[in-house]
Structure 1
Amino acid sequence: MQETATVKHPLNLEGVEIGKVVDFDAASDQLYPFNLTASNTELSPEVLADTAVFSDWISGHLANANARYGIGGYDEHRTIYARSHHFDSEEEPRRLHLGVDIWGPAGTKVYNFYDAVVHSFKFNDHYGDYGATIILKYVVKGQVFHALYGHLSLASLTGLQVGQKMAKGKAFATFGIPEENGHWPPHLHFQLIFNLYTAKGDYPGVCQFSKKSGFLLNSPDPAVILKHTFKGGLI
C-alpha cells in the first residue's frame, strides 16, 4: 500500500492537514497485513462459512502478532466473497476489493479525517453486505470526493441527517458487531469515491475483475488518507 514516486495519486492533498481515521500510536501499536486472496490456504471454506470461526481467525492472527489492527485489501482479488450470494452474478462474480479494510474489535471508534458533510447513510442489511454504512462528502483544495465507511454499528446511524456538517476529528461511528455489519468479523471498510452517480448510502466495494480499471479510477487508493493515521506503520 506504499505510494511510489512514479505513481501520481489522482487526489492532490499536498499541504493539507489530514486527521486520523482510527486511534493509532506508532510507538506502541502494530499493524498486521492480512492476505485474503486464494494464495492464503488458511482461509478454508469451513472458516469462511462460519462468521464466528472467521472472526476467531482474524482476532487470533492479531493477538499472535500483538497487533492492534489488521489492514489491507485495496485492489486485492479475493476469494472470500464466495461466502455470500451478495457478490454473485450470472456473467461474472464480484471479487476485486475497492477499499481498505481495517480489522479490529467491535466498538472501535471511527474519526472524520477532514471537514465534511453527510452525503447519505443506510443499513444495508444483507448477508455479506456493508451493514450500517455512512458516506461523507469532502471538498479539499477544490476537489470533490466521498468516503464510504462500511460495517459500522447500527448506533452509528442514530441522529444523522443528510447535509449535516461533520467536523474534522469528530468520532462519528464505531465498528459494528456481525449482526449489524453484514455478518463479517468486526472491521471498517474505508473507500474513496469520486462519482457516486445516483447511489445513496451504498456503492460497490467489490467489483467484477473485468471492470477493474474503471472502478479503480473512480475509487483511488485510500492510502493517501490512511498514511496520516498509520504514520510509522505499514501505510
Structure 2
Amino acid sequence: MELSELPSFDFESIIKSAVKKKDTHPVMDLPVDYEEFNLTSEFDRDSITAFVKSGGWAVGGYLEKRGVMYSAPRYADGRNIHMGIDIWAKAGEPVYAVLDGVVAYSTFQNDEGNYGGTLILKHMVEGQEIYALYGHLSKESLELHINGEKKKKGEVVGWLGEESENGNWPTHLHYQLCIEDPGEPDMPGVVAKENLIPARERYPDPRILLGDIY
C-alpha cells in the first residue's frame, strides 16, 4: 500500500476538533517565512547544518519515506518512514508545551542517530490521553523536568540541542504523538513499511496539535 492510500483514523478528526476549543500554543517561535523540507530523496547534512546555523527555519516530515538519511547502526533494520514532524532551527531556540500536561518521561540518549535530550508530556483531550515526544533537546533542558510534574501550556520545556548532544543530527525538534502510554522515554521516530498501518494508528499526525504548519 502506498502512503497516499493509507486510511485516515477518526481519532485524528475527533482530537483536532476538540483541540480547536483549547487554543493550543505554538511548539516553537516559527517565523512568518520558513522552508518546507522534503527529504524523500536527498539528505545533505552539511547544507542543512549551514542553513540552520545561518538562522534558517524549516518544517516537514510526517509519513515521509526518507531513503538516504538513516545510516546509523540503530537503523540497520531498514526503518525509514518518519512518524513525527521536524522543525529545523538553530541550537538554543526555545520549545514550548502545546497544551497543559504532565511530564511522563525524560532522559538523555545520545548514541549516534538517537534523540539526545528527550521529553514526553502526557496531555488529556476530551478524556483521551495523548503523549507528545520532544526529541533533540539540549541536555540542559532535562534539568527543567521531574516525572509527574505539571507543565502549563506555553511554558518553555527545553531548547534545541547542539549536534554534539542531539544524536549528531542537524539541529531540529522531532515532535511525535502517541495515543497510548509508550511505557518509556522513547517512540520509534521511523518505522518499516511492513509496520506502517499499525504505526499510523498509534502515532497520529502531529498537526492535530501543531496546526497546519505545512
Fold match by TM threshold 0.5:
yes
Whole-Å Cα distance in 2 between the matches of residues 125 and 86 of structure 1? 12
Asked if the contact 2:55/2:89 (under 8 Å) is kept, the reply is no
Helix, strand or coil at the partner of 2:27: coil
Stretches of structure 2 lacking an aligned partner (at least 5 in a row): 1-7
Q: Which residue of 2 is the match for residue 211 of structure 1?
A: 195
Whole-Å Cα distance in 2 between the matches of residues 225 and 126 of structure 1? 29
Residues 11-61 of structure 1: CA distance to partner in whole angstroms, max 9, x if unpaired?
242422111101134xxx3121111112x3xx3xxx4xxxxxx1x411555
Asked if the contact 1:193/1:220 (under 8 Å) is kept, the reply is yes
Of the candidates 194, 201, 205, which is equivalent to residue 185 of structure 2?
201
Identity percentage over the alignment?
Answer: 34
Whole-Å Cα distance in 2 between the matches of residues 159 and 112 of structure 1? 12
Q: Which residue of 2 is the match for residue 141 of structure 1?
A: 126
Change (3 A) 1:24 1:82: closer
Q: Which residue of 2 is the match for residue 3 of structure 1?
A: none
Asked if the contact 2:52/2:90 (under 8 Å) is kept, the reply is no
1:56-205 matched pairs, under 5 angstroms: 56-61=46-51, 68-89=56-77, 93-198=78-183, 200-205=184-189
Stretches of structure 1 lacking an aligned partner (at least 5 in a row): 1-5, 48-53
The higher radius of gyration belongs to 1
Per-residue deviation, 1:7: 7.6
Asked if the contact 1:124/1:202 (under 8 Å) is kept, the reply is no
Residues 91-149 of structure 1: CA distance to partner in whole angstroms, max 9, x if unpaired?
xx111100000000000100111110000011112100111100000002212101000
Of the candidates 21, 35, 40, which is equivalent to residue 15 of structure 1?
21
Asked if the contact 2:9/2:201 (under 8 Å) is kept, the reply is no
Whole-Å Cα distance in 2 between the matches of residues 203 and 61 of structure 1? 27
Instruction: State the superposition RMSD in angstroms.
Output: 2.1
Superposition TM-score, scaled by structure 1 size = 0.80
Change (3 A) 1:61 1:157: closer
Asked if the contact 2:98/2:154 (under 8 Å) is kept, the reply is yes
Change (3 A) 1:190 1:14: same
Whole-Å Cα distance in 2 between the matches of residues 57 and 37 of structure 1? 16
Asked if the contact 1:150/1:188 (under 8 Å) is kept, the reply is yes
Asked if the contact 1:32/1:62 (under 8 Å) is kept, the reply is no
Helix, strand or coil at the partner of 2:163: coil
Superposition TM-score, scaled by structure 2 size = 0.87
Which residue identity is paired with 1:135? I
Change (3 A) 1:208 1:150: same
Change (3 A) 1:217 1:152: same
Per-residue deviation, 1:80: 3.4
Asked if the contact 1:133/1:148 (under 8 Å) is kept, the reply is yes
The number of equivalent residue pairs is: 203
Helix, strand or coil at the partner of 2:105: strand
